[in-house]
Amino acid sequence: MREDWENKHIVFFDGECGVCNFWVQWIMERDKKDEFLFASLQSDFGQKFLSERGLERKQFKTLYLWKPHQYYLTKSRAVLRIAHILGGHYKLLSFFGKLMFPAVSDRIYDVVARNRMKIANQKCFLPTPHQRKKIIEV
């Protein structure tokens, strides 16, 4: 396991979801400051994260953003923080997103999560060598 993972923001995602894999690649391509690492919720690392917090370990509908020893966020709050960390016009987008009530933005997130398997095909994510370094326990 990477030694510097505790200094990064870790995105936990459903490793079997085409939509999730698309967004992981999207974040990787825009992570110019090398802020993020990624772990599937199905991995040992992901299962340990869920277990230690008493979170559901068999349903993978929720995206988690974890900054070790500081916080973890879920759903739309995680998405908005990712946008903020990416900076630039994504940071501006995160400010607009914060104007929406969390209950409303989480409802939108839940609708997408329920339908995500219908939205994108289930193709394999084949990371580049550089991207592979950003994944914890593939």
Question: What pLDDT digit, counting tens, does each position of 9-66 carry?
Answer: 999 999 888 888 889 999 999 999 999 999 999 999 999 999 999 998 988 889 999 9
> For residue 70, which phi and psi values (nearest 5 degrees)?
-130, -60
Closest residue by Cα to residue 39 from 112, 132, 106, 121: 132
pTM of the model: 0.82
The answer to whether residue 71 is domain-embedded is yes
Provide the domain count of the chain: 1
- 78 near 65, Cβ under 8 Å? yes
Q: Which two tokens stand for residue 48?
A: 């340990």
The answer to whether residue 94 is domain-embedded is yes
> Percentage of the chain surpassing pLDDT 70?
85
Residue 13 three-state SS:
strand
The answer to whether residue 45 is domain-embedded is yes
Residue 127 three-state SS:
coil
The confidence score (pLDDT) of residue 124 equals 63
Show the domain range for 110. Answer: 9-134
